[in-house]
Amino acid sequence: MTGADGFIGSHLAEELTRRGVKVRALVMYNSFGRSGWLDSSPPELAGSMEILAGDIRDPHAMVELTAGIDVVFHLASLVAIPFSYLSPDNYVKTNVIGTLNMLQAARTNGVKKFVHTSTSEIYGSAGHVPMDESHPQNAHSPYAATKIAADQLALSYLRSFSLPVTVVRPFNTYGPRQSARAIIPTIISQIASGAASIRLGNLDPTRDFTYVSDVVVGFIAAAERPDLEGEVIHLGSGSEISIGELVSRIAALMKSEVEIVSDARRMRPQSSEVDRLVCDNSKAARLLEWSPKVEFEKGLRRTIQWVQDNLDHPGYRPDRYVI
């Protein structure tokens, strides 16, 4: 699997290992020899994985990575939307060319299943709700545009070369290990640091949040179920909450009263904002027998506790805005 060092990827790699699956986990190479969040995995899990450092932009290495592999979970991508405004070229190279490299490597090695990771960001703001898999795609950021391209590349490899591709499209995943630039850990970390006021962008957009363990179960079901080639499947809760309401909910759980300060740096360009996302998860229920199990408040409590326990992690710097 790719992206095993990331938020969702590390949880997926651990759960697969718990289930007795042999996992070959690709992490982004760095000179420190670190494996991202897999460095925090229980030793009995991380020690059972084959952890390899590399880069999906290297086509030759991806052929070696997928040799002898039955199922590819492709999660690696650049995901920070604000940074895609500054460095769109990197998003094309990683999300589009990197995905092409993975698809071609899987084709070369006769992979039996390719589970490709999409995102609800490809839709832009909801034209109708709940949003099913046929909702029109309308990229509002370079990031979203590259993910549309990656999705279409993946599906084209099924149509052109019979590569068995299934596309999993999570809405907004949250939980332990999520980057501090994401909205829920941003709110929690600022409150946990003792700030009387927290700095945020637009409070009006709504999002559909799903706890990471539920998303992982969806990914595994997409790999295990037969006859899903060419299917695009949403993973989401089917409910929405505005960012302003989310702040109030988290502050109440943390027993804090906070003032919200509007930070222009955290605002998307006006025409780039995604105002509303609400998932229709009926297809996942039908094809995967999947539905989210972790109630939102319970998931928030778990996430709050984890962020509070890890506030000294280098990735959590509440006093700085990291795009």
Structural domains in the chain? 55-309 (3.40.50.720)
Determine if the pTM surpasses 0.95.
Answer: yes
Q: Backbone dihedral region of 177: left (phi > 0), alpha (psi from -120 to 50 degrees) or beta?
A: left
Cβ burial, residue 29 (10 Å; 0-12/13-18/19+): middle
Q: Which of 157, 56, 159 is nearest to 111 (CA)?
A: 157
Amino acid at 250: I
Q: What is the pLDDT of residue 323?
A: 77
| Look-up of token digits 């539905």 | 291
Q: Does the annotation mark 143 as catalytic?
A: yes
* Distance, CA of 263 to CA of 286 (rounded, Å): 42
> Quick count: other Cβ atoms within 10 Å of Cβ 211?
22
Q: What is the pLDDT of residue 317?
A: 84
pLDDT in tens, the chain (323 residues): 999 999 999 999 999 999 999 999 999 999 999 999 999 999 999 999 999 999 999 999 999 999 999 999 999 999 999 999 999 999 999 999 999 999 999 999 999 999 999 999 999 999 999 999 999 999 999 999 999 999 999 999 999 999 999 999 999 999 999 999 899 999 999 999 998 899 999 999 999 999 999 999 999 999 999 999 999 999 999 999 999 999 999 999 999 999 999 999 999 998 999 999 999 999 999 999 999 999 999 999 999 999 999 999 988 888 888 77
Which entry of 143, 157, 174, 316 is annotated as an active-site residue?
143
Instruction: Return all residues near 51 (Cβ < 8 A) that are at least 6 apart.
Output: 4, 25, 27, 35, 38
Token digits for 287? 């094809």
Q: What is the pLDDT of residue 322?
A: 76
**For 243, how many CA atoms within 13 A lie in the half-sphere containing its CB?**
24
72-104 CB burial, b ≥16 within 10 A, e <16:
bbbbbbbbbbbbbbeebeebbbbbbbbbbbbbb
